[in-house]
Amino acid sequence: MANEKILILEAPWSTKIEETQATRDIYASAETLLRIETRPIRIIQRPLVSTTYLEDIEKFVDLGCNRKGLNVIILSAHGSHTLLNENKNRRELDAFDGSINISKDIRRLKEKLGRTIIVLDACEIGRNIESFRRASGSLATIGFTKGAEWVDSSVFILALLLHFQQNDVFQEDVFSRRRARRSTRETESKAKKTIRKMLESTYESFKKPLGIKYSFR
């Protein structure tokens, strides 16, 4: 039985129909590949709407299959980042129905995202990524600090999801007591190890153009 371990909330990157469709095709191919594995993973894909996206996230993390193991939420849209002061960031996403202040909104779900890896698939929004990870209470946050070409970012995320699947990241129990007793070096999570190795080898060419940053708890 396939588990719904990935939620994609997406708003158009372009007003051109063919470009919006191309993004959807990339993620559809991810689901096709993820479902042929021994432990199949399914993607839930919904429009990014300011009035409903927090409810969509909450319902997703409350699914029975997400009460153990990791899950991934991808927020894909045009984005911007503003540093308001030394300790305050404003991250905005362009939803279908207007702008979202994700830095402010995400705090409402802080107690629910302990098993979640959030991927901020938007331009510049990955700056000061650790502050967002702390504010969200998420297990990890991944983002881009530069202007992200939608094809490049989508291809990188597709590769990331497939590597997560191949390395059994979705099955990892991050709250394992046995794992918690090991040394810090030994307990590097499968997810963190996966993205680190990707950016040190085959996918290193994506790191600088996209400005890929990540933060793990």
Mean of pLDDT values over 66-79: 91
Q: For each of the domains in the chain, give its residue range(s) and CATH number, in order of start.
A: 3-216 (3.40.50)
Q: Which amino acid is at 115?
A: R
Distance CA 107, CA 11 (A): 21
| Confidence at residue 42, expressed as pLDDT on a 0 to 100 scale | 86
DSSP codes joined into one string, 80-102 = EEEEEETTEEEEEEEETTEEEEH
Nearest to 214 by CA among 196, 187, 189, 188: 196
- Residue 180: is its pLDDT beyond 60? no
What's the chain's average pLDDT? 84
What stretch of H or E contains 103? helix 102-105
Contact 78, 144 (CB under 8 A): no
The percentage of residues in the chain with a pLDDT greater than 70, rounded to a whole number, is 81
User: In Å, how far from its chain's centre is CA 152?
Assistant: 15
| Confidence at residue 183, expressed as pLDDT on a 0 to 100 scale | 39
The residue with tokens 């919904």 is: 46
pTM for this predicted structure:
0.87
pLDDT in tens, 12-53: 766 666 566 666 677 766 666 666 566 788 889 999 999 999
Mean of pLDDT values over 108-120: 95
| Confidence at residue 141, expressed as pLDDT on a 0 to 100 scale | 96
| Confidence at residue 186, expressed as pLDDT on a 0 to 100 scale | 43
Structure tokens at 19: 């470009």
If phi over 0 gives left and psi between -120 and 50 gives alpha, with beta otherwise, what is residue 148?
beta
Distance CA 18, CA 102 (A): 28
- Residue 181: is its pLDDT beyond 70? no
Query: Where do the DSSP E strands lie in 77-206?
Result: 79-85, 88-95, 98-101, 116-121, 140-144
| Confidence at residue 83, expressed as pLDDT on a 0 to 100 scale | 79
